[in-house]
Amino acid sequence: MDKKDYNENEHLENNGTTEEHNASDNEIEGPLVEETSPVVEEVITSEPSVAAEIEESVPVMSKVGAAPAVVESSPKSNKGWMVASLILAAALIVVLIKPPFQKADGEAAVATVNGTNITKDQLYAKLVEAGGENTLKSMITTTIVEQEAKKANVPAVTDADINTEIEDLKTQFGGEAALNSALSQSGMTIDDLKKQMPIQVQLRKILEPQIKITDDEVKKYYEDNKATYDTVEQVRASHILVETQAEADAILKQLKDGADFAALAQEKSTDTGSKDNGGDLDFFNREAMDPSFGDAAFKLKVGETSGAVKSEYGFHIIKVTDRKEAHTSTFEEKKEEVRKTLITQKVSEMSATWLEETTTKAKITNTLTDPKDDAAATEAPAATEAPATE
């Protein structure tokens, strides 16, 4: 595809790398991105029936797009499992999960418009229509996982557990800026994600003890994917993108007079993918960038700022903030990372089957989907204690 076909704010070629991974496995989007790739896969992909219900009950982000750096750890990426960290995170709306309001209460007005009442029953019906069924299924799935975690004596989820999961996601997406960008495309923040994380931690802790990874498996995986763990020379830079030479020259004068680079990027830059982060583009290799941009950035020392650099997207002012030399990994350096990757993949593979089997065994009533003439559906709770798993 010709670079002219790309969005002006998407200049990066999909060749960037992170410290942990090879350039060939990256998909860099957002500032200077050349192609946009979906970075989220659905976690539940098992057979129809119960699995289909589970899949509907886990409204994950189908596409987040515009992430500054999306990294697959290897050809056998564990991206699917990392995406499972977003389980239950994109529900449309939380509805009141209980049988419809009693008649007297349900007819009470929650609003009036020129004397016309809008009742609680009407509100409830609209909430259910807007997303109540999927939200209830999500809550049922959450309840099942919580019950099974309790039976398995899974320790209470701690802040450290949450932070570990978040750091894993940052690595998987290629950095904090990339994850934030991905989340923002779904109307979420890191804080929103943290609120959804406990269920993910519980599911992982339930399944991990069932997984055994041998040293031979670790060694073979590393040898098969060794190149993905090597890194080329990289720099980390921030930039300010403007349309004209005159604008660039004016900004350079402000910087010379002591203005803050990040503040000017937030105020002046037309690159919407990086301006909110003070123009930060994270680490990238030379080939990942527009040639004129890459050449200029790699000539700078850490802390130096360029003059106006012209590209087909406008004029850039570039500031290099860090640098990493090329590095060839060793097995000893990467073996624990590889083991973690394999465990993560196994958990991802097991989660769909586990959820299907556990949901099938659970005694569940659902007043939104059960037959209307089923009297038990109006009396039983949404989800009852599930029998112990084997």
Tens of pLDDT along the chain (390 residues) come to 333 333 334 444 333 333 344 333 333 333 333 333 322 333 323 333 333 343 444 333 333 333 333 333 333 344 444 444 443 333 333 333 344 444 456 678 889 898 889 998 888 888 888 888 888 888 888 899 999 999 999 888 999 999 988 888 887 776 777 788 788 888 888 888 888 888 888 999 999 999 999 999 999 999 999 988 888 899 999 999 999 999 999 999 999 999 999 999 999 999 988 999 999 998 888 888 899 999 999 999 999 999 999 998 999 999 999 999 999 999 999 999 899 889 988 988 898 899 889 998 989 888 777 766 544 444 444 444 444 443
Angle at 327 between CA 324 and CA 330, to 5 degrees: 140
Look up residue 204 and give its amino acid. Answer: R
DSSP per-residue string spanning 41-88: --S----STHHHHHHHHS---S-----S-EE-SSTT--HHHHHHTTTT
Look at residue 76 in the predicted model and tell me its pLDDT: 37
> How many Å separate Cα 65 from the centre of its chain?
10
Q: How far is CA 232 from CA 58, 229, 329, 334, 346, in A?
A: 38, 10, 11, 16, 30
What is the distance between the alpha carbons of residues 245 and 266, in angstroms, rounded to a whole number?
Answer: 19
Give the max Cα distance, the chain. 77
Contact 200, 87 (CB under 8 A): yes
What is the distance between the alpha carbons of residues 238 and 321, in angstroms, rounded to a whole number?
Answer: 7
Residue burial 73-111, b: 16+ Cβ < 10 Å; e: rest: bbeebbbbbbbbbbbbbbbeeebebeebbeeeeeeeeee
Torsion angle of C-alpha atoms 151, 153, 159, 162, degrees rounded to 10:
-60
Question: What's the DSSP call for residue 386?
Answer: P
Please tell me the total number of residues recorded for the chain in this structure. Answer: 390
Look at residue 373 in the predicted model and tell me its pLDDT: 55
What is the distance between the alpha carbons of residues 14 and 31, in angstroms, rounded to a whole number?
Answer: 12
Which residues does 69 contact at the CB level (< 8 Å), separation at least 6?
Answer: 16, 18, 26, 27, 28, 29, 30, 173, 174, 175, 177, 178, 282, 284
Contact 10, 273 (CB under 8 A): yes
Burial of 48 (0-12, 13-18, 19+ CB in 10 A): exposed
Look at residue 60 in the predicted model and tell me its pLDDT: 34
Look at residue 81 in the predicted model and tell me its pLDDT: 40
* C-alpha dihedral sign at 221, 222, 224, 227: positive
Tokens of 35: 């192609």
Look at residue 106 in the predicted model and tell me its pLDDT: 65
Torsion angle of C-alpha atoms 262, 265, 267, 271, degrees rounded to 10:
-140
The helix/strand/coil state of 125 is helix
Angle at 313 between CA 63 and CA 233, to 5 degrees: 75
Look at residue 104 in the predicted model and tell me its pLDDT: 55
Look at residue 71 in the predicted model and tell me its pLDDT: 32
Q: Is the pTM of this model over 0.85?
A: no
Which residues does 376 contact at the CB level (< 8 Å), separation at least 6?
Answer: 365
Which residues does 132 contact at the CB level (< 8 Å), separation at least 6?
Answer: 93, 95, 368
What is the distance between the alpha carbons of residues 351 and 77, in angstroms, rounded to a whole number?
Answer: 16
Contact 127, 95 (CB under 8 A): yes
Beta-carbon-side half-sphere exposure of residue 242 (alpha carbons within 13 Å): 19
Q: How far is CA 334 from CA 21, 79, 325, 338, in A?
A: 11, 18, 18, 6
